[in-house]
Structure 1
Amino acid sequence: MARLLSPQRCCWLMPPVTLVSLAAWILLTGPNELTSHLRHQDTWWDYTEANLSTFNCDPVLRGEPEAVEQAKLLSLEQLFRKHTRLSDDHFLNVSQDCDTFLSSRKYLPFPLSREEAEFPIAFSLVVHHKVHNFERLLRSIYAPQNFYCVHVDTKAPASVLAAVTSITSCFQNVFLCSRPVVVVYAGWSRVQADINCMRDLYNISASWKYFVNLCGQDFPIKTNLEMVRSLKALKGRNSMESESMPSSKEGRWKKVHAVVNGQVQRTEEDKSPPPFNLPIKSGGAYMVVTRGFVEHVLTDSRVLELLKWAEDTYSPDEFLWATIQRMPRVPGSQRPSGKYDTSDMQAIARLVKWQGHEGAEEAKEAAYPLCQGRHVRSVCVYGTGDLWWMLQHHHLFANKFDVDEDLVAVHCLEKHLRNKALSFGVLQLGKADKVKG
């Protein structure tokens, strides 16, 4: 439950209907207290961080080698890392005063356009560590018309739960998942965490149009308005990786798996065939889906039977959503024919660099350039040198980021998105002023 805040608070806790009205009011009125926030650079445009106030992100975002190298060296400096690493307790303490927290961290208190106000998005965020990462992600995607369910792994450190609880209590549209679970890597519980947030989001509001699932190390590469327009362009379709299952991965669902000592282990017991003779597809853990898709996951008997069947498989999130996406009569789905296969590079859900697909531009099999950060479980943890590449793509989010590894990369990306979002907001306000004049 959100904390009770002073009536002087602008509009962080306004109900959805009021927010829509506010968005229209912003666009149709002349200069006032709210529009002045956008027009004065020192209020909302200033996204400075400790030891980054003078850092020029522009050449980094253009991929200029000298600037990228300077950013890498800065990220490696011990003094810089010491001054920029923020503990879980830091966020617990600064969020005790919600008013100060929201204003100092520059959470936007109102929609930047009518188009965004009229197209709410629902997000789930599955978190187990790195509160600093989580808070930067939340700030970068926050808009008062959207809805955010935060699932904290029940085995997460107490400091993580305390800090995330304190942060979420400062909002009306950000809340903790009502049924948190112990998340086991590559286990069913990762799917269950998303389903539990789906249910909470579905029940809390009927206004949102699309659902996007996130983890704590994701970060957007599009503004909220760009996301809205990308989702509108789908015209009721879902977008996620969904391809033919390679034979090398079939053991994940043809053999029974069990959680032993906190790890998923394969047994030699054969599983029963998939229900309804469904073709199992290969995909990823992340999706962009309609409200109708979410409703089907929660209520459709065929989907529920498939979910039950998948509970003792390995990494079910990497085939389950992709399979549901190709089931007949699922809202926003596509036919199971191979002609409708969609790779992760074609879908808009997530931009990921897998180590096995990296390589030089002239390499025939290389899907993308070499990682400029480091690898964790064969996935690139992005560095500043990756930013120019990712900003050329159509995806809504990229994975993975780590502020402890490269804060400059996150800082420059976040600043870029905020500047782009506010530039459009100011443009809209200027047009409205001309119409009134």
Structure 2
Amino acid sequence: MAIAPARAIIIVSFNIFRVVCRKYGIYLLLGMVMILLQGFSGYYVLRLGVGDSSLPGSKLDPDHYLQKRDGGGNGNFHQTSDRADADTHDKGPPIAEEIESLETIQEHLGIKVPCFLRSKEAVSAIKRATTSHCRSLIANISCQIQSGSFYPSRLQSYCPSNGRVRGKSMGCFVDSREKRILRGHAAQLKRNTPNICADICYQRGYIYAGVQYGKECFCGNEELPMKMKVSDALCAMPCTGDANIFCGDYLHMNIYETGLAKYVPKALNGPPGEGDTAVRITFILTVNGRAVRQFRRLFKALYHKDHYFFIHVDSRQDYLHREVLKLEQQFTNIKVSHFRLSTIWGGASLLTILLHCMKQVLQMKTWEWDFVINLSESDYPIKTNEELVKFLTSNRERNFLKSHGHDTNKFLQKQGLDRTFLECETHMWRIGERKLPFGIRVDGGSDWLCLNRGFVDYVVNSKDQLVMGLKKIYSYTLLPAESFFHTVLRNSKFCQTFTDNNLHVTNWKRKLGCKCQYKHIVDWCGCSPNDFTTGDWPKLEASATRNLFFARKFEAVINQAVINQVDAWLYTPYYSSTPGLESYWENRYHHEDRPTGSNDVSLTLYNAAARLSTKTVMQLLISKNRECHLYASAVLEANSYHVSDEFKGILVQYVGNIKNEASFNLETWFFPHNKYRPPFDKTVYRIISVEVGSDYDVKEQVFRNLGGALGPNSDITVITRWTGAKSDNVGVEEGEEEETVQQPLLLLMDPVGAKVAEEITLEAGDQVVFHKFDMHKPLLPGSWSVRVIIDNIVIATHTFVVLPYQFMNGRQITIKEARMLHKGPTGPYKDDETSIHHLNYPGNSSAMEIAVAHSHLYGPELSEWIDDLVNRFYTVQDTCYIPSEHVPECVRNSLEPCPETNWSSLSPDPKSELVGIDPNSGKILDPHRVGSSDYR
């Protein structure tokens, strides 16, 4: 009875299929062909591996592939690169085609290359490097890496295994796609074996390695579910790396110990006993920049007569170095390093400096210290010296480093540890991929550390293969100090002393701090913490109950109020009547520094300010004494001036002269005008302000070229700030949503009407948009403007000045240089249609004639032109004299002495003054604090 319905169903189905084929047969045929091709492609990928270089578009290693399971533990895999089981080095002679290519590349690069370079990154770095020394260094190291002779392939770990045995079989286990037994790192390897998988897992910090389905490798630290253990006979699939060894089976996993002991954090000790000897600390301060007053304030907060301070100053910072040397003369427990390097973000030199400083403090026979702590000028203590000493005294056997977390594979890739970097020409060049050595656990995190003397001595002086091998590897590593000390500690006999805490709280704002702001010095994108402001106070306050003793980053030029707040919280506040309490001064220029081209436009501005100052003072002097004719002869120093975290202008010290009398020094205060014109109807448009400058810091959203000096070779950046308020534009009906994305036009116009127009993207909500104009140089000096245009309506304008140069590399500019740099570009500012250079525009003919005449100015006439431009865009606020016996009577009677003003860089600033040591407390005296008699 069941047969008849079945036949009926078959007959009906056949008739339907016949009709469909008659009508749509061609489409069915094409679909079947596509299905067959897809099936063949999938089979080909599974056989050869996703990373096979023969696959179109593949960028992975030709001998292997690795896939990473997503964090959900659902068995899915994502492609990633790892040469754990591959030999990527060609040790044989180059083939004929390579020899021909080698000759070609040597001719193209202009250097002798000892091998055919396979790394496109190395070739790119050689092309971009500017010196033959650097290009040759990149080529030679790249060839050694390519030959397999540069890095160690395996290193020895000396960390006790606590009974764990590498390769010990834990048995065969039934696995599940929904809930993996080992949920750490996962990979698919073209050549997989238990040993290879164990090497990978050990390197990434896991105690178990599991092999499955022949080619799959899993890592984990989870407790093994013994109820899922089955007979070894069910794990019988041959390994892809050795057919004589079994690597699990479908959803069956052989699990082995890697030999790594599981890290179990040890509880910190309580308060020290009464008989415990207090530890002594050496602070290694690696400092940069020109913020001398902030550095002094940090030093004052840290100082105790029982501690030591070893200071390295960046080799480019002459001013800071001279100021720090003065402290060495004042305090006996300070040593300034004579070995100096230039430090760049992520540079290998940072590790070189730290190791050198540690070596030096070990050799200081009179320095009896127990810990080293490294800090920068951007750090500040958030607990007292006494609290820090008590904590370290109780835990003197510990070493304090902050680890990255749990996903080592992600850390390796994010940090670029699987790449070789070479520091040369104050740049970190990425020159190719590399394998990290097996046999050790790789770790890393923060480069701020607190290490005890025993471990420091081991790191600096040990000649064992672990330390020597890691020093070689990390000499060619980006951000090396963020991983070197961690990896040495984790694999040394000191591994049990590791404590996952760097004693710091750091102000991370990833959205602002991860904008690739260092691409001009590093071939990588990295992140940096933001400066603390008063709005971040809850983060600092929350550290009170935790073992955190320092915070970063602080910059008084960005926000001094939060430093005052921390300082008052740490000790006691300053009296409200303390002079200069809300003021801050930071050096911008000093005449003793080595001249650099980067200061030329600023030096031009400072000299113009000095000349304009003398003209202002002259009007006052001549009214009282017609024989007192003042003129400026040289600029000595310049400082930015800030009050309540607001930039107030630039202070310029200069040499004044009066005929037939000795020279003397004055200081003048000048500041830029605000040339921004807001929209006529603020209710219609969202724009708040327009700013123009250079050296824009995207992380802190401020211009770093305080004073706004722009010259013919400057890069112009326009900052527009927008509110999130809805507009009341005509045409937007009530209840109708406004467009979330707009593209206002920025129109840049030079003194003769040459225009550059570029769009910016504006989205809904409060927004700061920065746009850097990429234009041909030199820029034409004179008055420039930028206009913001929406729907062909100019909604805001800003006028600014591009100054001609008076100086080139710190010396007076020559006639030839002035004519070359002050005539503007030879053609359009840009090569595309958005740039219109109106050289023959009739309306600008007179402006063009004036510009041509200006380009021929030199000497006093050039100075007059510069002064005229500066006078239109800046204001001289005040001038004072620096007391000396050479100051003429007419000047004394007309001006204030600088130390008696509240604005001069010579006015009192007790918060950063170092006046002596309190014999009772061992700290630096600070008489302006509330309750200073009880100050400890």
TM-score interval for Structure 1 and Structure 2 normalised by the shorter chain = 0.5 to 0.7
SS state at 1:149 partner:
strand
Unaligned runs of at least 5 residues, structure 2: 1-273, 513-525, 574-917, 922-936
8 Å CA contact retained: 1:246, 1:282 = no
8 Å CA contact retained: 1:212, 1:288 = yes
Match of residue 247 from structure 1: 410
Deviations 1:72-128 (A, max 9, x none): xxxxxxxxxxxxxxxxxxxxxxxxxxxxxxxxxxxxxxxxxx999842111100011
Question: Following the alignment from structure 2 to structure 1, what is the Cα–Cα distance between the partners of residues 369 and 460?
Answer: 16
| 2:370 partner amino acid | K
Superposition pairs of residues 157-306 of structure 1, within 5 angstroms: 158-204=318-364, 205=366, 207-243=368-404, 244=406, 245-247=408-410, 249-250=412-413, 252-268=416-432, 270-274=433-437, 277-301=439-463, 302-306=466-470
Are 1:397 and 2:550 matched, yes or no?
yes
Shift of 1:224: 0.7
Describe the shift of the 1:174–1:284 C-alpha distance in structure 2 as closer, same or farther (beyond 3 A): same
8 Å CA contact retained: 2:459, 2:467 = yes
Describe the shift of the 1:264–1:308 C-alpha distance in structure 2 as closer, same or farther (beyond 3 A): same
Are 1:407 and 2:598 matched, yes or no?
no
SS state at 1:309 partner:
helix
Match of residue 122 from structure 1: 282
Shift of 1:357: 8.8
Question: Following the alignment from structure 1 to structure 2, what is the Cα–Cα distance between the partners of residues 258 and 200?
Answer: 25
Match of residue 589 from structure 2: none
- Computing the radius of gyration over CA atoms, which structure comes out larger, 1 or 2? 2
SS state at 2:332 partner:
coil
Shift of 1:272: 4.7
8 Å CA contact retained: 1:348, 1:396 = no
Deviations 1:210-263 (A, max 9, x none): 110001100001111100112123241111112442425336222211224422
- With CA pairs under 8 Å and 6+ residues apart, which has the higher RCO, 1 or 2? 1
Match of residue 314 from structure 1: 478
| 2:532 partner amino acid | Y
Are 1:385 and 2:535 matched, yes or no?
yes
SS state at 2:401 partner:
coil
Are 1:351 and 2:505 matched, yes or no?
yes
Shift of 1:273: 2.9
| 2:481 partner amino acid | D
Are 1:154 and 2:315 matched, yes or no?
yes
Superposition pairs of residues 20-169 of structure 1, within 5 angstroms: 118-129=278-289, 130-156=291-317, 158-169=318-329
- TM-score between the two structures when normalised by the length of structure 1: 0.59
Superposition pairs of residues 360-375 of structure 1, within 5 angstroms: none
Question: Following the alignment from structure 1 to structure 2, what is the Cα–Cα distance between the partners of residues 316 and 126?
Answer: 15
Deviations 1:116-169 (A, max 9, x none): 98421111000111222211111110001100000001122x211111111232
SS state at 1:258 partner:
strand
Question: Following the alignment from structure 1 to structure 2, what is the Cα–Cα distance between the partners of residues 272 and 224?
Answer: 43
Question: Following the alignment from structure 2 to structure 1, what is the Cα–Cα distance between the partners of residues 299 and 468?
Answer: 31
Deviations 1:342-400 (A, max 9, x none): 3xxxx142111222399xxxxxxxxxxxxxxxxx9541200123234313322111010
Question: Following the alignment from structure 2 to structure 1, what is the Cα–Cα distance between the partners of residues 483 and 387?
Answer: 28
SS state at 1:283 partner:
coil
Deviations 1:305-364 (A, max 9, x none): 311221011111111122123123027634xxxxx8x3xxxx142111222399xxxxxx
8 Å CA contact retained: 2:373, 2:449 = yes
Shift of 1:171: 0.7
Question: Following the alignment from structure 1 to structure 2, what is the Cα–Cα distance between the partners of residues 115 and 167?
Answer: 34
SS state at 1:406 partner:
coil
Describe the shift of the 1:357–1:377 C-alpha distance in structure 2 as closer, same or farther (beyond 3 A): closer
Question: Following the alignment from structure 2 to structure 1, what is the Cα–Cα distance between the partners of residues 363 and 477?
Answer: 29
Match of residue 362 from structure 1: none
Question: Following the alignment from structure 1 to structure 2, what is the Cα–Cα distance between the partners of residues 230 and 138?
Answer: 21
Describe the shift of the 1:176–1:136 C-alpha distance in structure 2 as closer, same or farther (beyond 3 A): same
Shift of 1:415: 2.9
Pairwise CA RMSD:
2.9
Question: Following the alignment from structure 1 to structure 2, what is the Cα–Cα distance between the partners of residues 139 and 378?
Answer: 26
8 Å CA contact retained: 2:455, 2:494 = yes
Match of residue 643 from structure 2: none
SS state at 1:160 partner:
helix
Identify which of 306, 328, 333 aligns with 2:492: 328
Match of residue 54 from structure 1: none
8 Å CA contact retained: 1:240, 1:288 = yes
Describe the shift of the 1:239–1:256 C-alpha distance in structure 2 as closer, same or farther (beyond 3 A): same
| 1:219 partner amino acid | Y
Question: Following the alignment from structure 2 to structure 1, what is the Cα–Cα distance between the partners of residues 371 and 295?
Answer: 21
Question: Following the alignment from structure 1 to structure 2, what is the Cα–Cα distance between the partners of residues 142 and 115?
Answer: 24
8 Å CA contact retained: 1:355, 1:379 = yes
Describe the shift of the 1:175–1:248 C-alpha distance in structure 2 as closer, same or farther (beyond 3 A): closer
Describe the shift of the 1:233–1:348 C-alpha distance in structure 2 as closer, same or farther (beyond 3 A): farther
Shift of 1:184: 2.5
| 1:382 partner amino acid | F
Question: Following the alignment from structure 1 to structure 2, what is the Cα–Cα distance between the partners of residues 195 and 325?
Answer: 15
Q: How many residues of Structure 1 are paired with residues of Structure 2 in the alignment?
A: 281
Describe the shift of the 1:305–1:142 C-alpha distance in structure 2 as closer, same or farther (beyond 3 A): same
Unaligned runs of at least 5 residues, structure 1: 1-113, 335-339, 359-375, 426-437
Question: Following the alignment from structure 2 to structure 1, what is the Cα–Cα distance between the partners of residues 277 and 397?
Answer: 19
Higher strand share: 2
8 Å CA contact retained: 1:237, 1:331 = no
Describe the shift of the 1:389–1:253 C-alpha distance in structure 2 as closer, same or farther (beyond 3 A): closer
Higher helix share: 1
Question: Following the alignment from structure 1 to structure 2, what is the Cα–Cα distance between the partners of residues 332 and 267?
Answer: 36
8 Å CA contact retained: 1:327, 1:333 = no
Match of residue 569 from structure 2: 416
Question: Following the alignment from structure 1 to structure 2, what is the Cα–Cα distance between the partners of residues 152 and 121?
Answer: 20
| 1:306 partner amino acid | L
SS state at 1:412 partner:
helix
